[in-house]
């Protein structure tokens, strides 16, 4: 990266940045991609005027429960607060929903925020948030994980880390989302998953149409500190670029 990308503020790593948890059940950076850790990446980006963002899911990682990881700073196992083992998000088999959102659950999310701060992270995309998720054709694929989302949001605020919720977020809960996130990606992926084009006119217009519902709620914008994300749509008319970009593939190891 020899020159700064125009007007980008955040460079965000998609889900592939992490495939395992640490000893406390927290999201750990892949050592094969980041042998020197994520702090090296965030420091490198900072020199170029950018901030590091990453991808997370709500709930408690399933592998952390299976490994009987302890919550950092306590003598409690994560498995003790997910004995019902209900799905924690819209991607089955990835996380568990806490049975109760008590001081130990709070400690777990605070430890995640501490780790992300050590990484130098400034932005978190929290995917598979519910109630909602899925698409207009297959809606409500995510369970109600608002309590998890709120706990993570409160933990991240200590370090001024931006939290954005994602996956066809339901605008009927807009007044609540404003209290637990800085923004929402309001529709499914803009990628067309085609070998010919990155996206399509239809996919672009889908999210434009979705914005009408959010505008009707009158709780978005700088007055509320909550913003609608159209998923990296470039405004060609005014020549403005989005404030963040996603890297689905890591080319260079750090």
Residue ranges of domains in the chain: 10-247
pTM: 0.87
pLDDT tens for the 254 residues of the chain, in order: 455 555 678 899 999 999 999 999 999 999 999 999 999 999 999 998 899 999 999 999 999 999 999 999 999 999 999 999 999 999 999 999 999 999 999 999 999 999 999 999 999 999 999 998 777 667 778 999 999 999 999 999 999 999 999 988 889 999 999 999 999 988 877 777 788 888 888 777 777 778 888 888 888 888 888 988 877 644 444 344 444 544 443 333 44
Cα–Cα separations (whole angstroms), residue 188 to 17, 77, 170: 20, 35, 12
As assigned by CATH, the class of the 10-247 domain is alpha beta
Q: Residue holding tokens 């403005």? A: 240
Per the omega criterion (within 30 degrees of 0), is the bond before 71 cis? no
CA-CA-CA-CA dihedral for 198, 202, 208, 209, to nearest 10: -150
Q: Residue holding tokens 């593939």? A: 249
209 sits in the region (left: phi over 0; alpha: psi -120 to 50; else beta) called alpha
């Amino acid at each position: 990266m020899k020159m700064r990308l125009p007007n980008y503020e955040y460079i965000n790593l998609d889900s592939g940045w992490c495939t395992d948890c640490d000893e406390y059940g927290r999201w750990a950076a892949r050592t094969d991609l980041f042998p020197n850790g994520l702090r090296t990446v965030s420091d490198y980006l900072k020199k170029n005027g950018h901030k590091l963002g990453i991808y997370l899911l709500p709930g408690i990682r399933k592998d952390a429960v299976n490994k009987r990881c302890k919550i950092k700073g306590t003598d409690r196992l994560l498995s003790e607060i997910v004995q019902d083992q209900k799905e924690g998000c819209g991607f089955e088999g990835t996380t568990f929903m806490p049975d109760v959102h008590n001081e130990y659950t709070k400690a777990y999310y605070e430890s995640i925020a501490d780790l992300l701060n050590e990484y130098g992270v400034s932005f978190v995309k929290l995917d598979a948030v519910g109630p909602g998720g899925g698409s207009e054709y297959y809606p409500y694929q995510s369970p109600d994980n608002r309590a998890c989302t709120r706990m993570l949001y409160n933990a991240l605020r200590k370090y001024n880390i931006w939290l954005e919720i994602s996956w066809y977020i339901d605008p009927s809960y807009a007044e609540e989302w404003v209290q637990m996130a800085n923004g929402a990606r309001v529709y499914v992926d803009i990628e067309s998953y085609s070998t010919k084009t990155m996206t399509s006119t239809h996919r672009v217009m889908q999210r434009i149409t979705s914005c009408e519902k959010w505008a009707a709620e009158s709780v978005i914008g700088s007055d509320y500190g909550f913003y609608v994300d159209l998923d990296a749509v470039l405004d060609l008319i005014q020549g403005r670029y989005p404030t963040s970009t996603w890297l689905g593939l890591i080319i260079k190891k750090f």
